[in-house]
């Protein structure tokens, strides 16, 4: 096999995982982890320069290039954050040094699983990759071995497996639909082949398949009412994993859903997948917005905020059309960057305060100004206030769909406003007012957090034309 950039994004994490599993010592392994993720990111960027040829197993096109670069970038910055975060966890004895080796190896396996899901040209291979990524995160969520962590991991495992099982059933049905047209064997599971023949597939089978795929992968996207695992898994695992879950793994599941949506859109006799996605998106957005008000745990609160934003993104893609797809894609990128930045801040705040309970936090802008104001910036961004990137993308979602479905958009805007209220209510008690609870000086790496926020800020004011054309191409591809 020839080694090109496409196999590179898979080989680097795989080799790094083997290496990190054998090496002792936290300092060395955390640096190697950063190095490996950086190399993967660099390789992913090179996809834009030289585009490798797609084969029967691996595929690269405009759509997944965007996802790969975003995934590898956020995993790189998260590994920088993780180095300082895990260092502190070892110091206070919350994480045993033996688990750290396991943690770093698993981090790379997770990267491998996500990259494989994104470049897979085979619906079976893609399913395997998403399953691999799910199992790795289950193990990482349970890594603290506390009551709560085990409950979260168990719940995530059971719900995640059921979701993944339904997705497999849907995958089998797609194969059944493709077989009479394409013929038996490997060809009938290859994306590029499926897409060219989709118009001749049996529409009834495609419909049933999509329902299973939507329920299956929708569980992994965290769409209400299938979201029950998400807040627990975010709250109880190590914070770098919360950042990766929210920023990346949800996107990967969404990517799978989008691919199948493209397939269905090519068959005129099949149901339009849009309305189903729009409904689930709206339910998630409004439901999660209301859930923000009663949160007592800071990580749990931002987990619900992730559900809300995934709802908005799925809504945008469900509406379809070049403009709404563009808005959905932009919102997904902005949400990944902002939410991981927030989790970087939250991780250090929880370490400084020694707790995740909102009631024990207060006056962070006085005691730890950099962290406090960092969180304020992050929440301002995620709530969708101008001039930051999320305002841009939410504005685009609303304006591009208002002419078509005014009633639905009003519901969406209602959800966004409710969420804004909830977020600021909690933010107020966390960062302002009299300092409460114990506090310690922060030993944090601020670079990843502010780098993300700077990008989000930039995107709100000025988007490079190259990026805009790139996103437009992808949006057209999505139909």
Partner 1 sequence: MRGISFDVAHMLAGSLVLVSFMQLYQDRLYALLNLFALHALVLATSVAWQAFIQDAPHLYLTAMIALVFKAIVIPVALHRIIVRLGIHREIETVVGVGPAMLLGMGLVALSMVVMLRVTADADPLAREDLAFALSVVLLGLLMMVTRRNAVSQVIGFMSLENGLVLAATGAKGMPLVVEISVAFSVLIAFIVIGIFLFRIRERFDTVDVGALDRFRGERR
**Residues near partner 1, by CB under 8 A:** 122, 124-125, 127-128, 131, 135, 138-139, 142, 145, 147-148, 150-154, 157-158, 161-162, 164-166, 168-169, 171-173, 175-176, 179-180, 184-186, 188-189, 202, 204-205, 207-208, 231-232, 235-236, 295-297, 300, 357, 359
120 or 371, CB closer to partner 1? 120
For the CB of residue 296, give the shortest distance to partner 1 in the complex, in Å: 5
Alpha carbons within 13 A on the beta-carbon side of 188: 17
- Maximum C-alpha span of the chain: 70
Nearer to partner 1, 202 or 394 (CB): 202
Please, which residues have CB within 8 angstroms of residue 444's CB and are 6 or more apart in sequence?
A: 84, 348, 370, 371
- Toward partner 1, which CB reaches closer, 291 or 332? 291
CB of 157 to partner 1, least distance (A): 7
Q: Do the Cβ atoms of 164 and 134 come closer than 8 Å?
A: yes
Residue 344 CB, shortest distance to partner 1, in Å, is: 21
- To the nearest whole angstrom, how small is the minimum distance from the Cβ of residue 450 to partner 1? 29
Minimum distance between the CB of residue 431 and partner 1, rounded to whole angstroms? Answer: 20
Closest approach of partner 1 to the CB of residue 197, in Å: 16
DSSP 8-state symbol, 303:
H
Minimum CB distance to partner 1, residue 196 (Å): 19
Q: How many residues does the chain have?
A: 479
Q: Distance of CA 264 to CAs 55, 109, 210, Å?
A: 23, 32, 8
Name the nearest CA neighbour of 71 among 33, 31, 14, 119. Answer: 119
Nearest to partner 1 of 140, 392 (CB atom):
140
Q: How far is 82 from 192, CA to CA, in rounded Å?
A: 37
Q: Strand pairing partners for 122?
A: 190
Task: Of 317, 318, 315, 319, give the one whose Cα is nearest residue 307.
Answer: 315
Phi/psi of residue 67, nearest 5 degrees? -65, -40
Q: Is the Cβ of residue 143 or residue 392 nearer to partner 1 in the bound state?
A: 143
Cα atoms found within 13 Å of the Cα of residue 408, Cβ hemisphere only: 24
Residue (180 or 369) nearer to partner 1, CB: 180
Nearer to partner 1, 46 or 161 (CB): 161
213: left (phi over 0), alpha (psi -120 to 50) or beta: alpha
From the CB of 132, what's the least distance to partner 1, in Å?
Answer: 9
CA distance 68 to 73: 8
Closest CA to 219 of 280, 302, 143, 300: 280
Beta-carbon count within 10 A of 461 CB: 11
Identify whether the C-beta of residue 371 lies closer than 8 Å to the C-beta of residue 439. no
Nearest residue (CB) to partner 1, 4 versus 360:
360
Q: Which is nearer to partner 1, 241 or 376 (CB)?
A: 241
Q: How far apart are the first and last CA of the chain?
A: 34
Q: Which of 266, 265, 256, 254 is nearest to 124 (CA)?
A: 256
Using CA atoms, how far apart are residues 57 and 75, in angstroms rounded to an integer? 24
What single DSSP character describes residue 214?
H
The least CB distance from residue 118 to partner 1, in Å, is 18
Q: How near is the Cβ of 373 to partner 1 at its closest, in Å?
A: 27
Nearer to partner 1, 54 or 161 (CB): 161
> Helix (H) and strand (E) counts for the chain?
20, 0
Q: Measured from the CB of residue 61, what is the shortest distance to partner 1 in angstroms?
A: 22
Q: Select 199 or 417, whichever has its Cβ closest to partner 1.
A: 199
């Amino acid at each position: 096999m020839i080694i090109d950039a496409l196999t590179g994004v898979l080989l680097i994490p795989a080799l790094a995982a083997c290496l990190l599993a054998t090496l002792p010592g936290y300092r060395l392994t955390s640096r190697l982890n950063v190095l490996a993720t950086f190399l993967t990111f660099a390789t992913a960027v090179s996809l834009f320069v030289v585009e490798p040829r797609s084969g029967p197993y691996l595929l690269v096109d405009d759509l997944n290039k965007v996802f790969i670069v975003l995934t590898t970038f956020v995993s790189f910055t998260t590994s920088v954050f993780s180095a300082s975060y895990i260092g502190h966890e070892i110091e206070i004895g919350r994480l045993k040094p033996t688990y750290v080796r396991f943690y770093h190896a698993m981090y790379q396996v997770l990267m491998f699983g996500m990259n494989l899901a994104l470049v897979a040209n085979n619906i079976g291979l893609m399913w395997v990759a998403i399953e691999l990524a799910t199992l790795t995160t289950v193990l990482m969520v349970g890594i603290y071995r506390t009551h709560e962590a085990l409950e979260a991991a168990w719940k995530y495992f059971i719900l995640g497996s059921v979701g993944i099982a339904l997705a497999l059933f849907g995958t089998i049905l797609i194969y059944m639909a493709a077989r009479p047209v394409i013929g038996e064997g490997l060809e009938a599971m290859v994306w590029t082949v499926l897409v060219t023949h989709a118009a001749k597939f049996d529409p009834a089978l495609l419909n049933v398949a999509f329902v299973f795929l939507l329920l299956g992968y929708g569980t992994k996207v965290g769409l209400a009412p299938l979201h029950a695992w998400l807040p627990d898994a975010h709250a109880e695992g190590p914070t770098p994993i919360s950042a990766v879950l929210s920023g990346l793994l949800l996107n990967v599941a969404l990517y799978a859903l989008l691919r199948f949506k493209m397939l269905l859109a090519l068959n005129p006799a099949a149901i339009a997948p849009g309305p189903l996605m729009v409904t689930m998106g709206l339910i998630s957005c409004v439901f999660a917005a209301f859930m923000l008000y009663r949160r007592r745990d800071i990580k749990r609160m931002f987990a619900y905020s992730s559900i809300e934003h995934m709802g908005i993104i799925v809504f945008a893609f469900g509406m379809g059309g070049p403009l709404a797809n563009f808005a959905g894609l932009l919102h997904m990128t902005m949400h990944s960057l902002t939410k991981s930045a927030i989790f970087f801040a939250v991780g250090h705040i929880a370490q400084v305060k020694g707790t995740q309970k909102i009631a024990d936090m207060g006056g962070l802008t006085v005691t730890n100004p950099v962290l406090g104001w960092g969180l304020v910036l992050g929440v301002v961004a995620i709530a969708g206030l101008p001039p930051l990137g999320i305002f841009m993308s939410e504005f685009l979602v609303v304006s591009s769909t208002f002419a078509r479905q005014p009633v639905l958009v009003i519901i969406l805007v209602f959800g966004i406003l409710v969420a804004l209220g909830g977020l600021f209510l909690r933010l107020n008690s966390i960062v302002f007012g009299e300092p409460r609870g114990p506090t310690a000086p922060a030993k944090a790496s601020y670079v990843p957090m502010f780098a993300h926020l700077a990008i989000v800020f930039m995107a709100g004011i000025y988007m490079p034309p190259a990026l805009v054309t790139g996103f437009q191409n992808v949006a057209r591809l999505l139909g």
